[in-house]
Amino acid sequence: MGKIKFTKSELKSQQEAKRQYERFLPTLQLKKQQLQLEVRLSADQLETNEAAQRRLADSVDSFVALYGDDALNRVAAGAVRIAGVLKGSANIAGITVPTFDRVEFAPAEWDLFATDWCVDELIATLREAVSLRCAHAVLEEQHRLLAAELRSTTQRVNLFEKVKIPECEENIRRINIMLGDAETSGVARSKIAKKKSAEAA
């Protein structure tokens, strides 16, 4: 607790500071609740994405069992090349986070006559797996940003609730006691001075 002056202007300043903290605290608490919800939703989205990736990995494994790694790698090299990852941004609880739009793939290059009929399905599965992996990276970044903002907001709520407001209340109490004591002392001195002047007269 810093040094304070025991004056009426300091009392007014402490009361105003307390009013401001109490005015901003509900907004911060609301933001904290909203961020807690968003962090939970973000974690759920990550879990959903990971479950989808696991399902697709099983599908790819069945293709590997059917055709072997070499054939799979040849198809992937020719037909699953990323041209770009398109992202956007969204404002969630006052912070800007990245959003995943889609992955753009380079045109597929393979010989239709030299490949099996199920290659189209394999390519679609591989592209979906790549898209899910790219989406996962964006979801992780979203989650990281939201969690960091939640930590920061929680610290501010705790600072207001547990430090700043109680500190102002204690300062106001101490100033009121000192001002009350000073007023009582002033009245007593005034009475003594009046009594002495009356005796002198």
Can you read off the two tokens belonging to residue 124?
């679609």
Half-sphere exposure of 188 (CA within 13 A, CB side): 6
What pLDDT is stored for residue 28 in this prediction? 94
SS3 130: helix
Residues 38 and 142: their CA atoms lie apart, in Å, by 10
Q: pTM of the full predicted structure?
A: 0.79
Residues 41 and 58: their CA atoms lie apart, in Å, by 26
Q: Which domains does the chain have, with CATH numbers?
A: 22-157 (1.10.287.3240)
- 């059917």: which residue's tokens? 66
Which amino acid is present at 20? Q
Can you read off the two tokens belonging to residue 81?
């090349």
Contact yes or no for 99/142 (Cβ under 8 A): yes
- pLDDT digit string (tens) for the chain, length 201 residues: 568 888 889 989 999 999 999 999 999 999 999 999 999 999 999 999 999 999 988 887 777 766 666 666 766 667 788 889 999 999 988 899 999 999 998 887 666 666 666 677 778 888 899 999 999 999 999 999 999 999 999 999 999 999 999 999 999 999 898 888 777 776 666 667 676 776 676
Name the residue among 20, 50, 19, 42 with its Cα closest to residue 149. Answer: 42
Sort 6 into a burial class: Cβ within 10 Å, 0-12 / 13-18 / 19+.
Answer: middle
Name the residue among 134, 147, 54 with its Cα closest to residue 100. Answer: 134
